[in-house]
Amino acid sequence: MNIDYRNIELRSGFWKQMQKLNSETAINAVWDRFDESGRISAFRFDWDGNENKKPHVYWDSDVFKWMEGACRIMSKEERPDLEEKVNMLIDLIEKKRADDGYFNIYFSVCEPGKRFTDRNMHELYCAGHMMEAAAAHYYATGSDRFIKIAADYADCIEKVFVTEGIAEFETPGHQEIELALIKLYKITGEEHYLKLSEHFLKRRAVNSKDKPIDGNIYHAQDNRPVEEIDSAVGHAVRCLYMLCGMADCAVLTGNKKMFEACERTYKDIVNSKMYITGGVGATRFSEAFSMPYDLPNETAYAETCAAIGLMMFADRMCKYTRDARYADTVERAMYNGMCSGISLSGDAFFYENPLEINLGSHRRAAVKDGHVKLAITQRQKVFLCSCCPPNINRVIPVIGEYIYDVEGRTGYINQFADSVLKAGGIEITQKTDYPWDGKVTITAKGLDKLYIRIPSWCRHFSINKDYTVCSGYAVVEDNAEETVFEMEIKPILISSCNKVTQNACKAALMRGPLVYCAESVDNCENLYSLILTDTNEAEESYSEMFRGILIRLNGLKIPESDELYSEAKANYEKTKIRFIPYYGFANRGESNMLVWLNYKGGMPS
């Protein structure tokens, strides 16, 4: 049985609050900014030649992602305001598209006659996002109007790239259309869309095999044919969207080699290229994956879209393999690297998500080291390149899909949230205040077996009935009475592999799936003078503002001194170190911030 977010209701708690924030604030805030910046009116194709207002090559995609988010909200709530905007855009797309189905603002308005001549100009990427928006519209409204427009465009692309082979490049410069074509295939049942997706995947890197290795070849993953890859290279979002397409395509076409490439590359990411927050793409140069274990904190790029891409990929892998470890990665990215991308107020966003802010470095960069680029320290309402905010808009409404899955009479709980799934004769409910509390009370109807993920961060758990363990899940067969799954959630200090040199002698605080950070606004200005020792006597308190639990730990502080050098002494002072959930950093003005703090455990015995 195919279930999707429409089968799932969130009832309360963390994700329900996020959905409320998204549908009441974020979706409107992003629309307003897109309207002000000219992204919406660009759909009228009325650019007047003013260079300052020139439509950007990926404006279409920003708006398509917003439409996807709006449609997903519309499928759950009465939202005539969103419906009107979506319809207005579909009207414009229908009116402005070319006779052969082609639709692209930049190449219709700014460079007519140049379609499909420059691989780096995001045409196929924008097309993919149109298909995804159209799929969401189809599911939300049942109307086939937009999906037909998207299918016409896909037919046009197929003609140009396959049947006639007249495009000036072979594969998308920015992957996305591969996974989108599969959505189109699933709705229309037309196999040639799946074939087109497979075509784009299989042609990638085929012609660059003999080219000299330089940065460009990695940027868009042109270094190796997809079936051979074993590491994540280049632009992180491109790589992750490609992996999503590969996983889907491999499963639908039975391509074992392609699926194994997904498994290898996933391992490379989570074993050496992922921040503790689930952020990926460590370097701003090329917005790319760096070398293994190169995970600098202050200059972490960790684009919000990349964390979302990792969620999307890991979720697919979880569903295709039924291995709960993939869902651990989803959880890591969704609570931390993705949620840090949106302000607590819901109307401002981070594109980059650093794990360290040192305002001193920012002042120095401004005065002396103009070439040093650091992430901004405050969330913004819109960016010149604004891919991340609408990506949040579209993911939060479908978070239910990450929570549950069903196959035949077997149910899967991959994530925990106060929610209910109803599909066919099956009903699964979770009652919980997760991630703040580890108790989840579950009822299941119409199932033979229920798989409950045992998170890898969880050291102790209990279940009130018999269960077996399979691939990271507790499997419960007796679902007549409610199942009480209880995870011990408490603050834990985490260290990183010593190959991550930036984190040597440091530890990060986690509580359940949440990563915490210390900000100077709650502590001292110089966070580098703080030392973590243990979590004994950790104090927890609930904060309305952060919609969650804050933590206070006993720790040490190196005394302030103006003496440049002096004899080393362990003359630390006792102090309290205050932490907030990482997703909430930079919501109270500019502040220094650290995820990884100095750590000093006891001597080995």
Closest CB to Zn ion among 194 and 308?
308
Q: Alpha-carbon distance 16 to 14, whole Å?
A: 6
| Binder among 226, 305, 518, 580 for Zn ion (CB under 5 A) | 305
Closest CB to Zn ion among 351 and 451?
351
The packing angle between helices 236-253 and 256-272, to 10°, is: 150
The packing angle between helices 123-141 and 177-188, to 10°, is: 30
| Nearest residue (beta carbon) to Zn ion | 305
Residue 446 Cβ vs Zn ion, minimum distance, rounded to whole Å:
40
Residue 140 Cβ vs Zn ion, minimum distance, rounded to whole Å:
24
Residue 288 Cβ vs ligand FUB, minimum distance, rounded to whole Å:
9
Residue 325 Cα distances to 307, 457, 460, 486, 539, angstroms: 17, 11, 17, 19, 30
Which residues contact ligand FUB by CB under 6 A? 58, 174, 237, 287, 303, 305, 385, 387
Stretch that binds Zn ion, among 174-182, 190-198, 296-304, 440-448 (CB under 5 A): 296-304
Centroid of chain to Cα 475: 28
- Choose the one of Zn ion, ligand FUB, none that binds residue 287, judging by a C-beta under 5 to 8 angstroms depending on kind: ligand FUB
∠ CA 14-20-23 to the nearest 5 degrees? 140
Q: Which of 221, 338, 207 is nearest to 268 (CA)?
A: 221
Q: Which of 432, 451, 448 is nearest to 440 (CA)?
A: 432
Closest CB to ligand FUB among 385 and 469?
385
Closest CB to Zn ion among 353 and 429?
353
Per DSSP (E only), the strands in 379-537 are: 404-407, 410-413, 418-423, 426-432, 439-445, 449-453, 461-463, 468-470, 473-476, 483-487, 491-494, 506-511, 514-519, 530-532
Is 388 a residue that touches Zn ion (CB under 5 A)? yes
User: Do the beta carbons of residue 181 and residue 154 sit within 8 Å?
Assistant: yes
Residues touching Zn ion, count (CB under 5 A): 4
Closest CB to ligand FUB among 287 and 331?
287
User: Do the beta carbons of residue 413 and residue 442 sit within 8 Å?
Assistant: yes
Phi/psi of residue 519, each to 5°?
A: -115, 150
Tell me the H-state helices in 409-540.
Answer: none
Closest CB to Zn ion among 156 and 305?
305
Per DSSP (E only), the strands in 324-435 are: 356-357, 404-407, 410-413, 418-423, 426-432
Closest CB to Zn ion among 222 and 352?
352
Q: Which residues contact 82 (CB under 8 A, 6 or more apart)?
A: 27, 70, 71, 73, 74
Closest CB to ligand FUB among 173 and 548?
173
Could you give the dihedral angle defined by the CA atoms of residues 578, 580, 586 and 588, in that order, rounded to the nearest 10 degrees? -70
Stretch that binds Zn ion, among 116-124, 138-146, 301-309, 477-485 (CB under 5 A): 301-309
Burial classification of residue 145, based on how many CB atoms lie within 10 Å of its CB (0-12 exposed, 13-18 middle, 19 or more buried) = middle
Q: What is the chain's percent helix, strand, coil content, to nearest 5?
A: 40, 20, 40
- Choose the one of ligand FUB, Zn ion, none that binds residue 58, judging by a C-beta under 5 to 8 angstroms depending on kind: ligand FUB
HSE of 114, CA atoms in CB hemisphere, 13 A = 14
Residue 62 Cβ vs ligand FUB, minimum distance, rounded to whole Å:
9
Q: Alpha-carbon distance 408 to 222, whole Å?
A: 39
| Nearest residue (beta carbon) to ligand FUB | 237
Q: Alpha-carbon distance 214 to 219, whole Å?
A: 9
Closest CB to ligand FUB among 385 and 497?
385
x/- letters, 200..239, toward Zn ion (CB under 5 A) = ----------------------------------------
Residue 241 Cα distances to 39, 246, 306, angstroms: 23, 9, 9
Residue 341 Cβ vs ligand FUB, minimum distance, rounded to whole Å:
12
Residue 291 Cβ vs Zn ion, minimum distance, rounded to whole Å:
22
Is 308 a residue that touches Zn ion (CB under 5 A)? no
Residue 390 Cβ vs Zn ion, minimum distance, rounded to whole Å:
9
Residue 387 Cβ vs Zn ion, minimum distance, rounded to whole Å:
3
Closest CB to ligand FUB among 183 and 511?
183
Closest CB to ligand FUB among 175 and 591?
175
Q: Alpha-carbon distance 250 to 256, whole Å?
A: 7
Stretch that binds Zn ion, among 138-146, 221-229, 299-307, 371-379 (CB under 5 A): 299-307
Residue 18 Cβ vs Zn ion, minimum distance, rounded to whole Å:
18
Closest CB to ligand FUB among 367 and 384?
384
Q: Map residue 346 onto helix, strand or coil.
A: coil
| Binder among 10, 89, 387, 452 for Zn ion (CB under 5 A) | 387
Residue 303 Cβ vs ligand FUB, minimum distance, rounded to whole Å:
5
Stretch that binds Zn ion, among 41-49, 79-87, 242-250, 302-310 (CB under 5 A): 302-310
Residue 240 Cβ vs ligand FUB, minimum distance, rounded to whole Å:
9
- Choose the one of ligand FUB, Zn ion, none that binds residue 328, judging by a C-beta under 5 to 8 angstroms depending on kind: none
- Choose the one of Zn ion, ligand FUB, none that binds residue 174, judging by a C-beta under 5 to 8 angstroms depending on kind: ligand FUB
- Where on the chain is the footprint of Zn ion (CB under 5 A)? 303, 305, 387-388
